[in-house]
Amino acid sequence: MGKRNIIVIGASAGGFDALRAIVKDLPPDLDASIFIVWHMGTDVRGILPDVLNKLGTIPAANAHDQEPIKPNRIYVAPPDRHLLLEKDRLRVTKGPKENRFRPAIDPLFRSAAYSYGNRVTGIVLSGGLDDGTAGLWRIKNSGGIAVVQDPLDAQVPSMPENAIRGVEIDYCLPVDEIADLIVKLSSENAIDEVNTKDENTRIEIEIAAGENSLERNSLDLGILSPYSCPECHGVLTKIVEGKLTRYRCHTGHAYLPDTLIADLTQKIEDNLYSAMRGMDESVFLMNHIGDHYAEVNQPKLAAIYFKKAKEAEQRVKVLRATIYDHEQLSREKIAEEAEREN
């Protein structure tokens, strides 16, 4: 039995201000360890610890691999690295992206639940799409506490909304009430023990740590689906947990449905532009060859090449119209359209 003093927080778009608001209201002597994943680009310097330290509450720093876990500390996932928890130490790794991100929220939450069980409080803040939902489900299923920022209070509500749909949430609060909740929960004893040593969870943590996904039998985590990974084109395995369905490929990339459809529809546009580029090049080449045959006095051959170039130009026009009509989808966009039709 221990205190509920392992606090894991995930944030994305709009989450920077939420994180500042929470840390600003924490007492400097808080007896808890806080771990944060905030989505950022790979070329963004890890500025979040500097910003949090200026608030003068709990010391914050970018996490380092194999670093021991201490109370009254804030550990931030550095750019382009997953942050994982083991018993009494951190792992900072460059495993496969999850939900298009590294660092991703789900690996942090999943590893915290596996290592610390009912001592964990998971908090999902403002952000787009659905990273954090699967990890929060694992925390809740391991006896921990599931918290989300009230979607009405979030700059970008999708992440909290998806978590609410997929997980039995314990607290849904505006951001200015979350610090008080952290103080309250971190002083409580975690009483009901839950077996957290789930084999599939262990495999997924090892994948995030950079272990070979195939050697860890990742294909056995679920059932093979008809879908391919947008990142590497590997076959996706369908994993069902409670009300959640998610996907993982044999190289290790992982997706929840909202992120998968967003990525797939983005890849469709990329592929359409690639096809249009190839067709444009064929038009240029056929016209060039036609010019050559016209110059060497072979008008019939030249005419055929010019004709084929014109036909290809018409197909390019159709393809260009298809690209302009193509829509990158997400559950949020589909829900908005459904509301308009009601």
Q: Does the annotation mark 225 as catalytic? A: no
Q: Which residue of the set 106, 130, 131, 263 is catalytic?
A: 131
Cα–Cα distance for residue pair 217/254, rounded to 1 Å: 15
Give the DSSP H/E element, type plus range, for residue 74: strand 73-76
Cα–Cα distance for residue pair 214/96, rounded to 1 Å: 13
Q: Which of 244, 231, 312 minimizes the C-alpha distance to 277? A: 312
Cα of first residue to Cα of last residue in the chain, in angstroms, is: 51
Q: Which residue of the set 39, 82, 250, 253 is catalytic?
A: 39
Q: Does the annotation mark 233 as catalytic? A: no
Structure tokens at 299: 């008008």
Q: Does the annotation mark 39 as catalytic? A: yes
CA 209 to the chain's CA centroid: 16
Structure tokens at 96: 């496969």
Which amino acid is residue 63, in one-letter code? A
Which positions ≥6 away from 279 have C-beta within 8 Å?
312, 315, 316, 319
Which positions ≥6 away from 139 have C-beta within 8 Å?
8, 109, 112, 113, 120, 121, 122, 145, 146
Rg (the chain; Cα; Å): 25
Which amino acids are annotated catalytic?
A: 12, 39, 131
